[in-house]
Structure 1
């Protein structure tokens, strides 16, 4: 929002949310019906192509979003932070695309001659190019300067400049009134082509497509245009801007005001003096060498959209199924097939914690594949390669997240330590912290708990600690047998005789039927990396082991799986604390660090217990 919002700040369909596309429904239906029922000579190809073109623009935008996030996870021009506030502010980046589609429909309905517009006219395309590089660029420059005047800036343009660190979609984030002015300005070439009889479908649609590309390029925050282009053809520096050129406008505000052609900044003295040097240094930047790497993976089929590289607004909220993602089922399953053959982890996120550089790497495999025996060798290959790559970069700690640390897969990471005994980096599964979090979540005054689900080393340690506290732990079947040795055959380990316990400690494998037997108000505390399915609304479910991160942990603009904003899993937190404390031990296999020491270290570094249930 602008610092002093002016008139017509909000888009008219804002209250509708994602249902704003309902505005298009009658136009789309009419265009399809007309194209299907009219004779070939009476059909309006332009009108028919408006909706497919809008979809292509949305896909084009998403490609830029994902690719820029992939690139800026490695390095950036402006190395500052993007936080949740910016993601929320830029959530409605598609408003402009929807508005242009509506205007195209209205234009075609009010100008019957559009139906006769040819597919291509060379003279019209040349005229459109000349109109843009001439009057449009010139008019935009002065309009843009006017927007930086205090009155207009505070009421409108400051909304756009709230994003110091830009993403491609930042380019289209403006108040409604400001965007209307842009539409009027950039529609001039199309109006003139229509008046001169030189209009063509490809000229109209191509102008918008090229405009989108260059606009997104300027806001992508990574540099890729080589300097040799400007050496080979020096006039190009006046005709084409670069991402580093426009990044200076978002950090300096009063310089580099041109649209796509810097020539007017040169003429009117608003060219930033550091433009050339920033362009050079941005190209010469080296990738960060992370101190800590957190290794995660895809979970559900729809989790590809939840990754930071996916849909920004989706990844900024806890992972859950959304109705509009279900409409994309064919794309979802195709992406699952493609990632099944993709052979490399990807950097999905980069954070800064004081001097500590942290990255998250994602294994391109899903939960269902981790549970498949024939996939284990391939998945362990991903993890091994990630460990070796992190080792080569000088990484101090690699934490194994989610199922990357499962006992069935790799003995809680122990196979890698045995295979590479001379590793300098430490491999951490965060088990001590997970245990501490579970114990911290057990309500005071509890005298008996029920332990259900697959027994892991975390479950064994939790049961042992509870028994030592004098709290009875009820278990049954194989779970009871496995816990006997862990608890040293404690008298506080008892066989399950009913489901009257008000506190359940649960792992993977907890069924819906078993949950239905819980008393009303039962507190369910998971010790597993994957959460149990929430079946009971009258029970209190805790999150999987996690902690609230301190404000000093920067550049956090997406949620970790199903956890709330600015909350991270125990394994991810444990990796950072392990590096900060400089501990020399691995924490994997059967090894569990001192639980109290790990807990105190987390609190010391500003991490806080997560007490909010879901």
Structure 2
């Protein structure tokens, strides 16, 4: 039974840390109460990857104590006297002991460097930061947490309920202090000033992390007051943040994304950051959470607002990632078109009110059949200050620059789409033969008329996949099955701009990922992978919006792609430090 309790307690403690992490990273709800405005980057996530080591250590200590102390065997479920004794021991022993040892670790540079600097290496406190520490720190916490419990057990007043209650309460307060979201109202402390000395706040603890010369207490600021280490700005700053006076900076660039399916909807920072900080793949344990994600999807529909997922800074400018609460399959339901456009339009108008300079639309949010590549919104609101950008010009540039220089012929599906048209017209200028797969002769002729007289002979309409049997360069803009992929000869490389990407069926061929670019090295606060992209890599349409913003271009990039601007946008992207993948 003792081993069972240890395992249950381990699971519950891990859940407490996870729930506080989710709470602190729900930017769409609590961004106004964030204390430190910086984002959590990949470096911090990796450093805190094994944050739960201390839980394993404390489980081992608990098992050892059970073997050594007979008083722990046969504990009752509850004893109120033990709870009172544990509380008294916490206040008189644990709190001052933690304060003294913690202050000593900061007092000497050698101690701080070897035994405590790891904990302070995280730029933005998170609940998982509370678990990050050296073995010496974790041993100290074992003593601090274990003293009240052992004291009650030795006095014959221990209980199973006390162990669960005290340990979970201890973890709850530790996570709260590291959550980076202010949870207390300043009115609470104005009404009952005594609590300023009895309970710390996330703001109070954040000052210790940023300045490191004050606020050393465990949970009770009283000991900082007695020790002369209380930061005088603690409650003034707490009032400023909790009252909303500490305003969130307005983003200058917004990428309006969408969810692909229910499973990928969990690839967000406020679920599992170990999952979202790596390229998306379906994990078995994620499938267990599918029902919860589905219910969340329904709730998001009811809210019908765009949500802020994450943000980063590039060249010192704030970039936001908003998401429309619609899943990929919704975009192909005729009756959902109006509702989706309404949500996109509201996001654009909200960005316009905030003073956002550029808003870039993700793949399905600019679907031609949905809103004409964003043209619908620009036509409805001709006085928009925010520039609406579909980013497809850079997407086309990325795909075109992936094609080897010696290629003389390509097979193009999705040939009459915005991207297909631009790619075909660009390639025919380079005297590359383009086999355009389309059943619509009218659409093909319309595109062909846009080409120069010399270039038209390089555009060839085909109506079957078999026409690409001798071509080893396929550019895929429409999802193709394994049967259709079999028409390509061995050694074919599939370039693609289709969402979702095609499945890699053939082992004798190679597959490119969706068009993307790597952000510059000086990007800060980025801790989430964009769908299946690697770290620091974003979809080309996202990067296209970034370039549009940093170039200061004042035109909307909507509707058909201007082929003459493909090379201009490509060179601008390289100039701003974005690099091809």
How high is the TM-score relative to the length of structure 1?
0.86
Give the structure 2 partner of residue 221 of structure 1: 180
For 2:70 and 2:448, the matched residues in 1 are separated by 83
- After superposition, the C-alpha distances for 1:489-517 in whole angstroms (9 at most, x for unaligned) are 72112336342222111123122222234
After superposition, the Cα gap between the structure-2 partners of 1:397 and 1:270, relative to the gap in structure 1 and judged at 3 Å, is same
Partner of residue 544 from structure 2, selected from 574, 580, 585 = 574
Structure 1 gaps of 5+ residues are 1-43
Look up the SS of the partner of 1:349 in the other structure. strand
Partner of residue 41 from structure 2, selected from 78, 83, 93 = 83
After superposition, the Cα gap between the structure-2 partners of 1:203 and 1:248, relative to the gap in structure 1 and judged at 3 Å, is same
Shift of 1:162: 0.8
Give the structure 2 partner of residue 139 of structure 1: 97
Look up the SS of the partner of 1:478 in the other structure. coil
Greater shift in the superposed pair: 530-539 or 360-369: 530-539
Alignment RMSD? 2.5
- After superposition, the C-alpha distances for 1:570-609 in whole angstroms (9 at most, x for unaligned) are 2222222222223222112335472222222222222112
CA contact (8 A) 1:448 1:501 kept: yes
Give the structure 1 partner of residue 488 of structure 2: 518
Give yes or no for the alignment of 1:491 onto 2:461.
no
Look up the SS of the partner of 1:554 in the other structure. coil
Give yes or no for the alignment of 1:600 onto 2:571.
yes
Shift of 1:426: 1.5
Structure 2 gaps of 5+ residues are none
Shift of 1:435: 1.0
For 1:334 and 1:515, the matched residues in 2 are separated by 37
Shift of 1:466: 0.6
- After superposition, the C-alpha distances for 1:456-504 in whole angstroms (9 at most, x for unaligned) are 2011100111111111112334277634422337211233634222211
Greater shift in the superposed pair: 481-490 or 463-472: 481-490
For 1:302 and 1:74, the matched residues in 2 are separated by 29
Give the structure 1 partner of residue 201 of structure 2: 242
After superposition, the Cα gap between the structure-2 partners of 1:368 and 1:95, relative to the gap in structure 1 and judged at 3 Å, is farther
- After superposition, the C-alpha distances for 1:509-550 in whole angstroms (9 at most, x for unaligned) are 122222234334322211235322222344332221221111
Give the structure 1 partner of residue 377 of structure 2: 416
After superposition, the Cα gap between the structure-2 partners of 1:341 and 1:103, relative to the gap in structure 1 and judged at 3 Å, is farther
Shift of 1:138: 0.6
For 1:428 and 1:492, the matched residues in 2 are separated by 30
Shift of 1:73: 4.8
Give the structure 2 partner of residue 8 of structure 1: none
Shift of 1:337: 4.3
Give the structure 1 partner of residue 162 of structure 2: 203
CA contact (8 A) 1:461 1:486 kept: no
Give the structure 2 partner of residue 383 of structure 1: 344
CA contact (8 A) 1:82 1:555 kept: yes
Look up the SS of the partner of 1:487 in the other structure. helix
CA contact (8 A) 1:239 1:262 kept: yes
Give yes or no for the alignment of 1:126 onto 2:84.
yes
Give the structure 2 partner of residue 253 of structure 1: 212
For 2:193 and 2:350, the matched residues in 1 are separated by 41
Look up the SS of the partner of 1:187 in the other structure. helix
Give the structure 1 partner of residue 267 of structure 2: 306
Give the structure 1 partner of residue 118 of structure 2: 159
After superposition, the Cα gap between the structure-2 partners of 1:60 and 1:297, relative to the gap in structure 1 and judged at 3 Å, is farther
Give the structure 2 partner of residue 268 of structure 1: 227
For 1:280 and 1:356, the matched residues in 2 are separated by 27
Shift of 1:330: 3.9
Shift of 1:454: 6.7
After superposition, the Cα gap between the structure-2 partners of 1:434 and 1:529, relative to the gap in structure 1 and judged at 3 Å, is farther
Shift of 1:51: 3.9
Give the structure 2 partner of residue 60 of structure 1: 16
Residues 258-297 of structure 1 mapped to structure 2, 5 A cutoff: 258-283=217-242, 284-297=245-258
Look up the SS of the partner of 2:26 in the other structure. helix
Look up the SS of the partner of 2:495 in the other structure. strand
After superposition, the Cα gap between the structure-2 partners of 1:180 and 1:514, relative to the gap in structure 1 and judged at 3 Å, is farther
CA contact (8 A) 1:294 1:575 kept: yes
For 1:492 and 1:75, the matched residues in 2 are separated by 59
CA contact (8 A) 1:241 1:261 kept: yes
Give the structure 2 partner of residue 584 of structure 1: 554
Give the structure 2 partner of residue 21 of structure 1: none
Shift of 1:171: 0.8
The number of residue pairs the alignment matches comes to 566
How high is the TM-score relative to the length of structure 2?
0.90
- After superposition, the C-alpha distances for 1:416-463 in whole angstroms (9 at most, x for unaligned) are 222223222121110111111111111111111111247420111001
For 2:532 and 2:142, the matched residues in 1 are separated by 40
Look up the SS of the partner of 2:309 in the other structure. strand
Partner of residue 370 from structure 1, selected from 331, 334, 344 = 331
Partner of residue 564 from structure 1, selected from 529, 534, 553 = 534
After superposition, the Cα gap between the structure-2 partners of 1:568 and 1:423, relative to the gap in structure 1 and judged at 3 Å, is same
After superposition, the Cα gap between the structure-2 partners of 1:477 and 1:354, relative to the gap in structure 1 and judged at 3 Å, is closer
